[in-house]
Structure 1
Amino acid sequence: MVIIESGPEADPIAHARLRRDTVHLWTLEIATHADRWDKSSSRFGKDAPARTPEAAGEAAACSLG
């Protein structure tokens, strides 16, 4: 897991984290004001750019003409 934080080392503020979903895919989670994590629909792979379900649908629609 990779956590993105800011602020002083003694009291960091978490903003986002990448959590391994499968061997090759990571899921982006966003920190909420209530110290919880919300899953986003974004998944990242080692060799692939970030993809969301919306972007995947747009790409499919473009390829169909």
Structure 2
Amino acid sequence: MNSKILKKMNKAFDYLFDALVITDLKGIITDWNKGSETLYGYSKKKRLVDPSICCTCQKILQTSLAK
């Protein structure tokens, strides 16, 4: 894909209202959008940089369902 298409896709990903979480094959979160920031209360930057924040989708979902 060319860089223009990738930029458009990244912009669309970030502006969706739904929470989208991207993980690797082990379930470790590698990216998430603004909808996820709103739902889970952590900015993308803080979530991806700070290992003390839940590191897997399963933990995030368990935390959310407990509220």
Q: TM-score normalized by structure 1?
A: 0.30
Higher relative strand content: 1
Instruction: Work out which structure has the larger RCO, using CA pairs closer than 8 Å and 6 or more positions apart in sequence.
Output: 2
Higher relative helix content: 2
Q: TM-score normalized by structure 2?
A: 0.29
Larger radius of gyration: 1
